[in-house]
Structure 1
Amino acid sequence: MNLVMWHNPRCTKSRETLALLRQKGIEPEIRDYLKDTPSIDELKTVLGKLGFDTARAWMRTKEADYKSLGLKDESDEDKLLAAMASHPKLIERPVVIHGERAALGRPPEKVLDVL
């Protein structure tokens, strides 16, 4: 099973999601997205797999970067995605990607839908 997890080891939900997958006998390919930042094209692709209509639905709107970059009033999707690529802390995590499907691990059990 080719399963990729965009993981932040400092995030409780991310660690819980990884533990859940491992309990199910699944060892995902781990991508530390803060160090190996996704490109804008990758973000667009995964956004579609998540089924979100807008990048904002996938953003951490309480992050300091969100406020300092003035993203609250931004409506241009390309600018939102560019901000996520430049400031990966804005990407809500964890994300589990399996083929043409993806899920946000909030709560962690949501990722089981893509298995």
Structure 2
Amino acid sequence: MTAYALGSFRDIAPHTAGGTHRDILEYIDRIQATLDPFGGRFLVHGAEVHVVEGTWPGNLVLIAFPDLTQARAWYASPAYQALIPLRTEHVKGPIILTDGVAPGYDPSQLAAKPRA
């Protein structure tokens, strides 16, 4: 079952005189190489978020993996762990890993359980 890594990033450190902080640029340059061995691919990365309910402070990143085992292995990998400080020293926000739903998922089945 497809799994996802979701990041909600905010409080991005001020840009340097030349633009985006060089550590963030290095993180962006290197992250795909950490995803490739685990089948990770970006679905959303830095796109404008259109909030229609509530608030959403910051940017959204969504990465798909073949399964949760691969997502967890990517996050724990030495290659990705080495990149984390490049991001966390300049950007705040959580990252979560979660399973998706199976093909044919029917949300009404979730509501049926408490009714039974």
Query: TM-score over 0.5 for the alignment?
Result: no
More helix by share: 1
Alignment TM-score, normalising by the size of structure 1 = 0.28
Question: Higher relative CO (CA 8 A, sep ≥ 6), structure 1 or 2?
Answer: 2
More strand by share: 2
In our comparison, the structure showing a higher alpha carbon Rg is 2
Alignment TM-score, normalising by the size of structure 2 = 0.28
